[in-house]
Amino acid sequence: MAVVVGEADIYLHDGGMYQWDSAAPAAVAQAAGFHVSRIDGSPLVYNERSAWLPDFLVCRPELADAVLDALWA
């Protein structure tokens, strides 16, 4: 939530988590207009057979392309 309240520009987590750890923060961030995705840019998918979510990115929308490009450069 540090991104949503303006204390950070980017939150990136690539160590894995369970879906329930990111569902509420992702919903709040998306509702506030922030970019939310996996670190490869694909959308987060919930209610999968496995509750494991390998990675998670939240950032200001104007930074999304640069962040994703930097991750895969």
pLDDT digits (tens, 9 = 90+) for 10-66: 999 999 999 999 999 999 999 999 999 999 999 999 999 999 999 999 999 999 999
- Quote the pLDDT of residue 29: 97
- Quote the pLDDT of residue 8: 96
pLDDT at 72 over 90: no
**Fold of the domain spanning 10-71:** D-Maltodextrin-Binding Protein; domain 2 (3.40.190)
Q: Are 53 and 17 within 8 A, CB to CB? A: yes
CA distance 60 to 3: 7
CA distance 58 to 11: 5
Sheet holding 35-37, edge to edge: 10-13, 56-59, 35-37
Size of the chain, expressed as the number of residues it contains: 73
- Quote the pLDDT of residue 1: 85
Which residue type is seen at 54?
P
Q: Are 68 and 61 within 8 A, CB to CB? A: no
